Amino acid sequence: MILFPAIDLKDGQCVRLKLGDMDQATVYNEDPGAQAKAFEDQGFEWLHVVDLNGAFAGQTVNGEAVDAILKATKNPVQLGGGIRTLDHIEAWLSRGLARVILGTVAVRDPVLVIEACKRFPGQVAVGIDAKGGKVAVEGWAEASELGVIELAKRFEGAGVAAIIYTDIDRDGILAGINWASTLELADAVSIPVIASGGLASIDDIKRMLQPDAAKLEGAISGRALYDGRIDPAEALALIKAAKEVNA
Protein backbone atom coordinates (compact mmCIF):
# COMPACT_ATOMS: atom_id res chain seq x y z
CA MET A 1 0.00 0.00 0.00
CA ILE A 2 1.41 3.35 -1.05
CA LEU A 3 0.47 6.78 0.30
CA PHE A 4 0.95 9.30 -2.50
CA PRO A 5 1.37 12.93 -1.38
CA ALA A 6 -0.18 15.26 -3.94
CA ILE A 7 1.14 18.40 -5.58
CA ASP A 8 -1.52 20.17 -7.63
CA LEU A 9 -0.10 22.91 -9.83
CA LYS A 10 -1.92 26.13 -10.67
CA ASP A 11 -0.04 29.06 -12.18
CA GLY A 12 3.27 27.50 -11.13
CA GLN A 13 2.29 27.16 -7.48
CA CYS A 14 1.38 24.24 -5.25
CA VAL A 15 -2.33 24.55 -4.43
CA ARG A 16 -5.37 22.60 -3.31
CA LEU A 17 -8.82 23.11 -4.75
CA LYS A 18 -12.21 22.53 -3.18
CA LEU A 19 -14.49 20.26 -5.22
CA GLY A 20 -12.34 20.81 -8.29
CA ASP A 21 -13.18 24.53 -8.45
CA MET A 22 -10.26 26.57 -9.83
CA ASP A 23 -11.71 29.65 -8.13
CA GLN A 24 -11.39 27.96 -4.74
CA ALA A 25 -7.63 27.43 -4.69
CA THR A 26 -5.51 27.63 -1.54
CA VAL A 27 -1.79 28.20 -2.17
CA TYR A 28 0.35 25.99 0.07
CA ASN A 29 3.78 26.49 -1.46
CA GLU A 30 5.07 28.84 -4.14
CA ASP A 31 8.01 26.48 -4.78
CA PRO A 32 6.79 23.07 -6.02
CA GLY A 33 10.33 21.69 -6.13
CA ALA A 34 10.84 22.49 -2.46
CA GLN A 35 7.52 20.84 -1.64
CA ALA A 36 8.54 17.71 -3.54
CA LYS A 37 11.81 17.53 -1.62
CA ALA A 38 9.96 18.06 1.67
CA PHE A 39 7.70 15.09 0.95
CA GLU A 40 10.74 12.95 0.13
CA ASP A 41 12.43 14.01 3.37
CA GLN A 42 9.30 13.01 5.31
CA GLY A 43 9.71 9.46 4.03
CA PHE A 44 7.23 9.26 1.17
CA GLU A 45 8.30 7.02 -1.71
CA TRP A 46 6.12 8.33 -4.56
CA LEU A 47 4.70 11.67 -5.66
CA HIS A 48 1.40 12.44 -7.40
CA VAL A 49 1.39 15.64 -9.47
CA VAL A 50 -1.46 17.27 -11.39
CA ASP A 51 -1.16 20.15 -13.84
CA LEU A 52 -4.51 21.78 -13.09
CA ASN A 53 -4.18 24.46 -15.75
CA GLY A 54 -3.18 21.76 -18.20
CA ALA A 55 -6.26 19.68 -17.44
CA PHE A 56 -8.46 22.57 -18.57
CA ALA A 57 -6.24 23.63 -21.48
CA GLY A 58 -5.70 20.15 -22.90
CA GLN A 59 -1.93 20.61 -22.95
CA THR A 60 0.90 21.09 -20.48
CA VAL A 61 0.87 24.52 -18.85
CA ASN A 62 3.00 24.04 -15.73
CA GLY A 63 5.90 22.30 -17.44
CA GLU A 64 8.59 24.37 -15.71
CA ALA A 65 7.15 23.52 -12.30
CA VAL A 66 7.04 19.81 -13.15
CA ASP A 67 10.65 19.93 -14.33
CA ALA A 68 11.60 21.60 -11.04
CA ILE A 69 9.87 18.79 -9.15
CA LEU A 70 11.68 16.11 -11.17
CA LYS A 71 14.99 17.83 -10.47
CA ALA A 72 14.29 18.23 -6.74
CA THR A 73 13.25 14.67 -5.81
CA LYS A 74 14.63 11.19 -6.37
CA ASN A 75 11.18 9.69 -5.81
CA PRO A 76 9.20 8.38 -8.78
CA VAL A 77 6.62 10.91 -9.98
CA GLN A 78 3.29 10.33 -11.70
CA LEU A 79 1.75 13.25 -13.61
CA GLY A 80 -1.74 13.96 -14.89
CA GLY A 81 -3.43 16.95 -16.48
CA GLY A 82 -3.52 17.82 -20.17
CA ILE A 83 -1.61 14.80 -21.48
CA ARG A 84 -3.52 13.85 -24.63
CA THR A 85 -1.12 12.46 -27.30
CA LEU A 86 1.45 9.69 -27.70
CA ASP A 87 4.16 12.27 -28.45
CA HIS A 88 3.26 14.13 -25.28
CA ILE A 89 3.46 10.92 -23.26
CA GLU A 90 6.84 10.03 -24.73
CA ALA A 91 8.19 13.53 -24.11
CA TRP A 92 7.26 13.45 -20.43
CA LEU A 93 8.56 9.94 -19.82
CA SER A 94 11.85 10.89 -21.48
CA ARG A 95 12.13 13.81 -19.05
CA GLY A 96 12.10 11.46 -16.09
CA LEU A 97 8.47 10.84 -15.18
CA ALA A 98 7.80 7.36 -13.83
CA ARG A 99 4.19 7.32 -14.95
CA VAL A 100 1.70 9.44 -16.87
CA ILE A 101 -1.99 9.63 -15.97
CA LEU A 102 -4.47 9.80 -18.84
CA GLY A 103 -7.91 11.15 -17.98
CA THR A 104 -9.99 12.92 -20.61
CA VAL A 105 -8.28 11.06 -23.46
CA ALA A 106 -9.24 7.75 -21.83
CA VAL A 107 -12.87 8.71 -22.45
CA ARG A 108 -12.42 10.40 -25.82
CA ASP A 109 -9.88 7.98 -27.36
CA PRO A 110 -9.49 4.67 -25.49
CA VAL A 111 -7.56 3.21 -28.44
CA LEU A 112 -4.79 5.76 -27.78
CA VAL A 113 -4.57 4.58 -24.17
CA ILE A 114 -4.26 0.96 -25.26
CA GLU A 115 -1.53 1.89 -27.75
CA ALA A 116 0.28 3.92 -25.08
CA CYS A 117 0.28 0.91 -22.76
CA LYS A 118 1.92 -1.17 -25.51
CA ARG A 119 4.59 1.44 -26.21
CA PHE A 120 5.29 2.34 -22.59
CA PRO A 121 4.56 -0.76 -20.49
CA GLY A 122 4.03 -0.10 -16.79
CA GLN A 123 4.16 3.66 -17.26
CA VAL A 124 0.57 4.53 -18.15
CA ALA A 125 -2.20 5.00 -15.59
CA VAL A 126 -5.81 6.01 -16.19
CA GLY A 127 -7.44 8.74 -14.13
CA ILE A 128 -11.17 8.30 -13.60
CA ASP A 129 -12.81 11.33 -12.04
CA ALA A 130 -16.43 10.81 -11.06
CA LYS A 131 -19.33 12.97 -9.96
CA GLY A 132 -22.50 11.21 -8.93
CA GLY A 133 -21.13 7.94 -10.28
CA LYS A 134 -20.57 9.35 -13.78
CA VAL A 135 -17.21 10.13 -15.36
CA ALA A 136 -16.21 13.81 -15.66
CA VAL A 137 -13.73 15.14 -18.23
CA GLU A 138 -11.90 18.31 -19.30
CA GLY A 139 -10.60 19.13 -15.82
CA TRP A 140 -13.94 18.09 -14.28
CA ALA A 141 -15.68 20.84 -16.24
CA GLU A 142 -17.81 18.44 -18.29
CA ALA A 143 -19.92 15.48 -17.23
CA SER A 144 -20.44 12.37 -19.33
CA GLU A 145 -23.02 9.60 -19.23
CA LEU A 146 -20.27 7.01 -18.87
CA GLY A 147 -20.22 4.93 -15.70
CA VAL A 148 -17.00 4.49 -13.72
CA ILE A 149 -16.86 0.69 -13.90
CA GLU A 150 -17.92 0.73 -17.56
CA LEU A 151 -14.92 2.93 -18.40
CA ALA A 152 -12.51 0.93 -16.24
CA LYS A 153 -13.49 -2.35 -17.89
CA ARG A 154 -12.54 -0.95 -21.30
CA PHE A 155 -8.92 -1.23 -20.23
CA GLU A 156 -8.89 -4.72 -18.76
CA GLY A 157 -5.98 -6.60 -20.27
CA ALA A 158 -4.50 -3.48 -21.87
CA GLY A 159 -1.62 -3.21 -19.42
CA VAL A 160 -2.79 -0.11 -17.54
CA ALA A 161 -0.49 0.28 -14.53
CA ALA A 162 -3.18 1.69 -12.23
CA ILE A 163 -6.51 3.48 -12.09
CA ILE A 164 -6.57 6.68 -10.05
CA TYR A 165 -10.17 7.04 -8.93
CA THR A 166 -11.27 10.46 -7.69
CA ASP A 167 -14.66 11.24 -6.17
CA ILE A 168 -15.07 14.90 -7.13
CA ASP A 169 -17.86 15.39 -4.60
CA ARG A 170 -15.34 14.79 -1.81
CA ASP A 171 -12.14 16.23 -3.22
CA GLY A 172 -10.47 18.90 -1.14
CA ILE A 173 -13.12 19.08 1.58
CA LEU A 174 -11.78 16.41 3.96
CA ALA A 175 -15.05 14.46 3.86
CA GLY A 176 -13.41 11.05 3.92
CA ILE A 177 -12.93 8.69 0.99
CA ASN A 178 -16.03 7.24 -0.66
CA TRP A 179 -15.15 3.70 0.35
CA ALA A 180 -18.26 2.06 -1.11
CA SER A 181 -17.64 3.20 -4.68
CA THR A 182 -13.86 2.89 -4.43
CA LEU A 183 -13.95 -0.71 -3.22
CA GLU A 184 -16.70 -1.56 -5.70
CA LEU A 185 -14.38 -0.42 -8.50
CA ALA A 186 -11.40 -2.31 -7.06
CA ASP A 187 -13.48 -5.49 -6.91
CA ALA A 188 -14.79 -5.05 -10.46
CA VAL A 189 -11.44 -4.90 -12.28
CA SER A 190 -8.04 -6.56 -12.08
CA ILE A 191 -6.22 -3.25 -12.58
CA PRO A 192 -4.77 -1.84 -9.32
CA VAL A 193 -6.85 1.07 -7.98
CA ILE A 194 -5.53 4.16 -6.21
CA ALA A 195 -8.10 6.06 -4.14
CA SER A 196 -8.26 9.84 -4.32
CA GLY A 197 -10.58 12.55 -3.11
CA GLY A 198 -11.50 13.14 0.51
CA LEU A 199 -8.73 11.45 2.52
CA ALA A 200 -9.31 13.21 5.82
CA SER A 201 -7.54 11.64 8.77
CA ILE A 202 -5.42 8.79 10.08
CA ASP A 203 -8.66 6.82 10.36
CA ASP A 204 -8.81 6.73 6.55
CA ILE A 205 -5.29 5.26 6.51
CA LYS A 206 -6.35 2.60 9.00
CA ARG A 207 -9.46 1.86 6.95
CA MET A 208 -7.34 1.44 3.86
CA LEU A 209 -5.26 -1.23 5.58
CA GLN A 210 -8.26 -3.45 6.34
CA PRO A 211 -8.44 -6.82 4.54
CA ASP A 212 -11.37 -5.81 2.31
CA ALA A 213 -9.26 -3.00 0.85
CA ALA A 214 -6.33 -5.27 -0.01
CA LYS A 215 -6.85 -4.76 -3.75
CA LEU A 216 -6.10 -1.04 -3.47
CA GLU A 217 -2.61 -0.04 -4.54
CA GLY A 218 -2.80 3.03 -2.36
CA ALA A 219 -4.33 6.43 -1.80
CA ILE A 220 -3.54 10.04 -2.61
CA SER A 221 -3.50 12.69 0.10
CA GLY A 222 -3.45 16.42 -0.41
CA ARG A 223 -5.17 18.86 1.93
CA ALA A 224 -5.04 16.49 4.93
CA LEU A 225 -1.24 16.45 4.73
CA TYR A 226 -0.90 20.18 4.11
CA ASP A 227 -3.26 21.06 6.96
CA GLY A 228 -1.57 18.66 9.38
CA ARG A 229 -4.61 16.42 9.79
CA ILE A 230 -2.49 13.42 8.85
CA ASP A 231 0.95 13.09 10.43
CA PRO A 232 3.32 11.65 7.80
CA ALA A 233 5.41 9.70 10.30
CA GLU A 234 2.35 8.08 11.89
CA ALA A 235 0.76 7.24 8.55
CA LEU A 236 3.92 5.75 7.07
CA ALA A 237 4.59 3.76 10.24
CA LEU A 238 1.11 2.21 10.04
CA ILE A 239 1.66 1.28 6.40
CA LYS A 240 5.08 -0.21 7.14
CA ALA A 241 3.70 -2.27 10.02
CA ALA A 242 0.89 -3.59 7.82
CA LYS A 243 3.38 -4.61 5.13
CA GLU A 244 5.48 -6.49 7.68
CA VAL A 245 2.43 -8.36 8.99
CA ASN A 246 1.43 -9.37 5.48
CA ALA A 247 4.96 -10.25 4.34
**Which residues face 59 on adjacent strands?**
none
Q: Please choose, from the candidates 144, 59, 77, the residue with its C-alpha nearest in 3D space to the C-alpha of residue 110.
A: 144
**Residues listed for the chain:** 247
Three-class secondary structure of residue 115 per DSSP: helix
As a whole number of angstroms, the distance between CA 235 and CA 185 comes to 24
As a whole number of angstroms, the distance between CA 96 and CA 150 comes to 32
- The single residue of 51, 67, 129, 167 carrying the catalytic annotation is 129
Catalytic residue at 8?
A: yes
Distances (CA, A) of 15 to 49, 139, 141, 171: 11, 15, 18, 13
Ramachandran angles phi, psi of 99, nearest 5°: -155, 140
Q: Please choose, from the candidates 90, 89, 69, 67, the residue with its C-alpha nearest in 3D space to the C-alpha of residue 80.
A: 89
DSSP H or E run through 153: helix 148-153
DSSP label of 168: G
Q: How many CB atoms lie within 10 A of CB 204?
A: 22
Catalytic residue at 129?
A: yes
Q: Please choose, from the candidates 209, 170, 165, the residue with its C-alpha nearest in 3D space to the C-alpha of residue 191.
A: 165
- Contact between 33 and 70 (Cβ < 8 Å): no
Catalytic residue set: 8, 129
